[in-house]
A and B are shown apart, each in its own frame.
Chain A
Amino acid sequence: MSSSLLILNHQLTITSSTYDSKFFFQTKPKSSRSPSLVTEDLRSFISKFYTVHSTNSASFMGLSSIGTASDGMQLCIFDLRRGQHEGQELDKILYFFPADLPFSTQLSVIGLSEGLITFTRIFSPEAACEVIEAERHSHVFYEAEPDIWMVMIVEKSKESEAIWRIDALREVLKEIHSLFVMFHGSIRALLEREPSGGLTRAHLYPFIMDYLRDFLIGKKLQLPSFRDCLMERRSVQMLTVGREAAIEVQTLVRILESSAGNLPCFSLILFQDLLVSTTLSPEDTINLFKYAVLRLTPLALSSGAKSWSYLRRGNSSSHVSIGSTLPSTGSVSEQFYGSHDASPAGDNRYHVTRPLQHDKWFKGKDGFLITDIWGGDIGSLNVTTPTVWLHQTEERMYLCAYQYKSLTIILLIPLSSILNGDQGVSILKQQLLENASLKILKVEEKLSKGWGGENAYHVSGYRYLLVDGNRDISRASPPTKVTTLSKESLLALNRLREEVDAEKSRAKWDNPGREKDLEVCIRAKNNAWAVARITGGKELYMVLEKANETLLYASDAVEKFSNRYCSGTFSLD
């Protein structure tokens, strides 16, 4: 075995000829550790490596053959604090996709990840391993909670569609986790509630399965690829409204919140699939917005025509159960994960709600959205009110969703402030209707009038993505317009975004709390320009296919766009 170790510019690169893989990880700059210590740590790392693999009797080379059953994607969640003794290794696995993989294989994947985490923590205790780029696989790491890791392994297939942006994949992991926490609370809390881990697994398994179903196209999981480089997952899309409409919306917000009496409550208002108003913290806004767009908005409710978003095209076929895609032959793993996809909630040892289940929300006669996900009978309209857990207040809230035409209003009221449960909620709903229905009518009318349609934010000649990192807001060219771009352009932008991601994360460590201004223009094979400009925490990505004369021309085009649509934010000089 020959391996070389390279430390260059705070980046540790291990090249191993045996495994034909390359590991990159960022180390914390100005590490106080002396070089001699590093060598020693490496030795222990390598020995640990071997231990892992020998106990599981699976060769490291075997990694490449694992993913075949599942379109080359594996996803696991494990807890480093569990299963530290020999024979108890299974304890650490909280979730594994595909679940029908032999435990030995699962353990070997997790073992590798664990080894790398442990090793890289030596150099960078606060931010361990982020990604492993092997020849045929990418391993994306995300530490969701302290010592609870999510790892996604994607296969770099020969067909060229499988080109990812690592950060985009990590966003998927983040989204899974934060949505999970919103509904079920933190994984650690679940583990503490029931140390055997059964409860946690019973929650995670159906939740992630329901989530992944949104990525199913036909029978294939379609993860975010380079084609999605003009979108930002963990951000909200907002409706641009005029002052008058904005004031109307805000007065509605006040009325909504006042109809809950003196209880502290929060609200979220959407028009179509766009956010109009929120009183939640950015983190909670992102999560609830995502959930609303996935399951609550009029587009999400009308199951026939799912969405104009190409991201969810083909979703109508989502009745294909994950189980069929992933032949669940291993009854062992079913027992292990506690829940079965096809079985309704509560059928098992644990009562598990599945908030991401499809086609479970309906619009009631009174305009409120109802679901039996949380229990009850939809026919008798006697359903349990959904609840979510808010990051900001660390409190469980009732979720009331009301819909009028294109307007979706979500009201969150603390569980603790309503004494008599569902009955109290229905009284509140009544009050809400009494106080706000006129205003809701007015607001909907105002917003509809100002609504420019699906292509409202299309700027002809430009394909862009605008991200306001300060406020977690993004706006992009409509997906239908993005699909007109050639593959080369998209690949170029994808590449550019990867560079920017790397630059951003480097800057974050080099100079925490400071924003770095950045401008990159690259020219693709097809003579298109891919442009990235970052200034003051705001990011602009752009593909200009027709601006093929000069760099100056491209730069001018960006300038124009910036002045016209971003109030000059990106106009540098």
Chain B
Amino acid sequence: MAGKASSSQTSVGGLGSGAVSHVFIHYPPLRCNIPGSRGFYYDDGNKLLISPTSDQVFSWKTVPFSPNAAPNIDSITEGPICSIRFSLDEKLIAVQRSNTSIDFLHRETGEVFTHRCKSESESILGFFWTDCPSCDIVVVKISGLDLFAYDHASKSLALVETKKMNVSWYVYTHESRLVLLASGMQCKSFHGFQLSSAGIIRLPKFEMVMAKPEANSKPVLASEDVYIVTVYGRIYCLQVDRVAMVLHSYRFYRDAIIQQGSLPIYSSKVAVSVVDNVLLVHQVDAKVVILYDIFSDSRAPISAPLPVLLRGFSRSDSFTSRPSTKESESLQASDSNDNESIVYGDGWTFLAISASSSEIPSVLEFLQRRKLEANKAKQLCLAIMQTMILECRPITMVAKAMDVLVTSYAHSLKTGTYFKGIKTERTPSSVSNVSGSGQVIDVNTGRTDGLGKSLQRESAPRVNSVSASDTEDSSSLEPSKISSNDTQFDGGKVDIGAESCTTGNPLNASVSDQQESQLTSPAISPDEMYKFVFAPIEEEMIGEPSYLVAIILELFRSANLEKVKVHPNLFVLTIQLLARSEQYAELGLFVINKIIEPSKEVALQLLESGRQNFQIRKLGSDMMRQLSLHQDYVLLLVQDGYYLEALRYARKHKVTTIRPSLFLEAAFTSNDSQHLAAVLRFFSDFIPGFRSTSDFFTYYHILNEMNSSSVVA
């Protein structure tokens, strides 16, 4: 919980609250004591942490993460273990025993069958389960891919398809459903396949860029240097070029692979991960993490480099051995002599980071793209907005910020995430804790020797991150659009798929947090903008009415561009502000040009503010009339002494609800017997039975008195 405190504090305090840009390891860690453990594996298809012993498999669900959860235990036959993965329905456990055989264990029945390569010359590099409709498991061999379907009846694998090619090594992530197969002398030629529930897509062959240290030497690309990452539903590949000390990025399209540019690296050892669509580049030797938001065009980090620290853990240096921080939770296995493992998860919270940045509109943009802790991001956005206004930042900057928020809201309306968030908030029970977009574990096994030496992974292809739940096809390949708006997040089908991931509850969230954070989108509606930004600062901003009006105008402008309605109280507030500073000319223009949209509240406020200015009052009464608020308009006319006009209007628009005595009283106060007689006559003619009412007698009497007195005079 220690780590959490800082971020929630930040979200309240807004800017300048001394936000700390730090990453904390979760506490308490997962502790386990497994005698004879052969290390840890992470199964990204099922989000399982797996620790096999010679005859048993211990597995922990990592989503949701609970440090006290007891592991599931399955028995397996003894033998070497190269890699281990559960089938996607978790009914089978596949254990790669050697480079020629894989054992399959049926968990319920305990039955085991073994799959072997046909020829001795073939060597298995690894395997993974897939939700592709035609097959269930893919085995990667040096000669290519074998796609198998599992036959429940015969409990055996049936070969579906073979893809022949030379493979030196491969990388696969379940999140992207993408497998990249390296080949060639330098291992820099790649074949790629995406095996998703939508089918199999073969990517065009491509080459990665590698700088040459000298004329004759040709560096070989290692599998550790290639990462598949999924950001905002797009699939990228990041490649470490150790010679040039850069991290190249490539974006995958359905029919093309396009290099996107490079990021500098400052360490010969680099690891890459993604949390909440933010790219984390761990510079291992430099002991820092640099964060990038590759959505925006700029290649600049979104914050200063973050130090890698362990909190509440005395041997902090052990962490630096390998920054295994992957996604929102990172596990560290510290293998002590007594076989006790301590696993830590760390909660990445970007809110604090963003609050410390100075380029506010881009910060808001960044925050608006947060999916984890959407509520916190939202609170922070509101706080930032409020602070900006209170500090009277330049209008152009606030305008940009306003644009960001309104555009984001409009976008969330279009994609439905805004309402989805609202809905889940209303029916919290429906939110299952199944998935966490981007709650992933990376396992680091082996001995940390406490000296901070980097540690190689033990065997097995590197496990990688997952962010989508099983039911979703979280990312797919878009057709390439090599155009200027390529960087636009255009809400296409692909994006929706990725965006609509159910919110993952941060593991450390308190109960109340959990409920709030079921918002899927940090988008801010105009109502919230009014309630949480303008209404609270209204009082404080009294001294700066014209500044506040300028800000409100900017909101109107953005809202109008995005066809979003603003809160009607903002119109009323605008009138109050303009009237208070006696800017009646502007107020008139605002009303006439419908910048202030007509409504009854607006009309009433105009009448109220018009006490000091006749023209403004006039605008209010005109608005009443134009809105067909007949009764109010008639009352207004009577109040202002235009009772004859009121009568005429009442008759035309059939307003019958106003008491005749009001008109008669007004006619009487004007001291004009002719008018009084006319009003009396009007009611006598048009209201049946009026002649027998007390009103009639009273005023008839008064009229007679008036007439007789004028005759005498």
Q: How far is the CA of A240 from the CA of B546 in the complex (A)?
A: 24
- B residues within 8 A CB of A471? 588, 615
A255 within 8 Å of B by Cβ? Answer: yes
Q: Is the CB of B583 within 8 A of A279?
A: yes
Query: What's the nearest-Cβ distance from chain A to residue B358, in Å?
Result: 20
Nearest CB in chain B to that of A573: its residue: B652
Q: Is the CB of A244 within 8 A of B560?
A: yes
| Interface locus among A9-17, A104-112, A245-253, A526-534 | A245-253
B654 within 8 Å of A by Cβ? Answer: no
B152 within 8 Å of A by Cβ? Answer: no
Nearest CB in chain B to that of A243: its residue: B594
CB 8 Å contact bits of A224-250 with B (1 = contact, 0 = none): 000000000000000001111011101
B116 within 8 Å of A by Cβ? Answer: no
Q: Is the CB of B585 within 8 A of A247?
A: no
In the complex where A254-B553, A258-B550 touch, is A246 in contact with B593 (Cβ < 8 A)? yes
- A residues within 8 A CB of B77? none
B72 within 8 Å of A by Cβ? Answer: no
Please count how many residues in chain B sit with their CB below 8 Å of the partner chain's CB atoms.
33
Nearest CB in chain A to that of B615: its residue: A470
Q: Is the CB of B625 within 8 A of A255?
A: no
Q: How far is the CA of A205 from the CA of B556 in the complex (A)?
A: 50
In the complex where A243-B595, A285-B585, A568-B625 touch, is A254 in contact with B395 (Cβ < 8 A)? yes
Q: How far is the CA of A254 from the CA of B549 in the complex (A)?
A: 9
CB proximity to A under 8 Å, residues B589-635: 589-590, 593-595, 614-615, 618, 621-622, 625-626
Q: Is the CB of B586 within 8 A of A250?
A: yes
B396 within 8 Å of A by Cβ? Answer: yes
How many residue-residue contacts, CB under 8 A, span A and B? 72
CB proximity to B under 8 Å, residues A122-149: none
- B residues within 8 A CB of A246? 589-590, 593-595
In the complex where A241-B593, A568-B625 touch, is A247 in contact with B553 (Cβ < 8 A)? yes
- B residues within 8 A CB of A546? none
CB proximity to B under 8 Å, residues A528-573: 536-537, 567-569, 572-573
- A residues within 8 A CB of B395? 254-255, 258
Q: How far is the CA of A494 from the CA of B648 in the complex (A)?
A: 30
Nearest CB in chain B to that of A254: its residue: B550
Give the contact-size bracket for chain A: 20 to 34
Query: What's the nearest-Cβ distance from chain B to residue A227, in Å?
Result: 30
Nearest CB in chain A to that of B621: its residue: A536
- B residues within 8 A CB of A383? none
Nearest CB in chain A to that of B637: its residue: A536
A243 CB contact (under 8 Å) in B394, B550, B554, B593: B593
- A residues within 8 A CB of B554? 251
CB 8 Å contact bits of A493-528 with B (1 = contact, 0 = none): 000000000000000000000100100000000000
Q: How far is the CA of A573 from the CA of B648 in the complex (A)?
A: 7
B681 within 8 Å of A by Cβ? Answer: no
Q: How far is the CA of A270 from the CA of B283 in the complex (A)?
A: 59
Nearest CB in chain A to that of B590: its residue: A250
Q: Is the CB of A243 within 8 A of B557?
A: no
Q: Is the CB of A251 within 8 A of B553?
A: yes
In the complex where A243-B594, A243-B595, A573-B648 touch, is A567 in contact with B626 (Cβ < 8 A)? yes
- A residues within 8 A CB of B55? none
Residue among B394, B561, B590, B593 with most chain A CB within 10 A: B593
CB proximity to B under 8 Å, residues A236-288: 241-244, 246-248, 250-251, 253-255, 257-258, 277-282, 285
A435 within 8 Å of B by Cβ? Answer: yes
Query: What's the nearest-Cβ distance from chain B to residue A265, in Å?
Result: 11
Nearest CB in chain B to that of A255: its residue: B395
B641 within 8 Å of A by Cβ? Answer: yes
CB proximity to A under 8 Å, residues B573-592: 583, 585-586, 588-590
Q: How far is the CA of A282 from the CA of B588 in the complex (A)?
A: 11
Nearest CB in chain B to that of A268: its residue: B585
CB proximity to B under 8 Å, residues A60-99: none
B49 within 8 Å of A by Cβ? Answer: no
In the complex where A255-B395, A573-B648 touch, is A279 in contact with B615 (Cβ < 8 A)? no
Query: What's the nearest-Cβ distance from chain B to residue A520, in Å?
Result: 18
B122 within 8 Å of A by Cβ? Answer: no
Query: What's the nearest-Cβ distance from chain B to residue A271, in Å?
Result: 13
Q: Is the CB of A251 within 8 A of B399?
A: yes
CB proximity to B under 8 Å, residues A434-472: 435, 470-471
Q: How far is the CA of A279 from the CA of B590 in the complex (A)?
A: 11
- B residues within 8 A CB of A572? 648
B449 within 8 Å of A by Cβ? Answer: no
Q: Is the CB of B618 within 8 A of A537?
A: yes
Q: How far is the CA of A55 from the CA of B540 in the complex (A)?
A: 71
Nearest CB in chain B to that of A252: its residue: B553
Q: Is the CB of B396 within 8 A of A435?
A: yes
Q: Is the CB of A277 within 8 A of B589?
A: yes
Q: Is the CB of A279 within 8 A of B585?
A: yes
Other A-B contacts than A251-B399, A255-B396, 20 sampled, CB-CB below 8 A, are A243-B594, A246-B594, A247-B595, A248-B557, A250-B553, A250-B586, A251-B554, A254-B546, A254-B549, A254-B553, A258-B395, A279-B585, A280-B585, A281-B585, A435-B396, A471-B588, A536-B622, A567-B626, A568-B625, A568-B626
- Between A and B, 22 residue pairs with Cβ closer than 8 Å are A242-B593, A243-B560, A243-B594, A246-B589, A246-B590, A247-B595, A248-B557, A250-B553, A251-B553, A251-B557, A253-B586, A254-B395, A277-B589, A278-B589, A280-B585, A470-B618, A517-B645, A536-B618, A536-B621, A537-B618, A567-B626, A573-B652
Closest 6 A/B residue pairs (Cβ): A246-B593, A254-B550, A247-B557, A470-B615, A243-B594, A246-B595
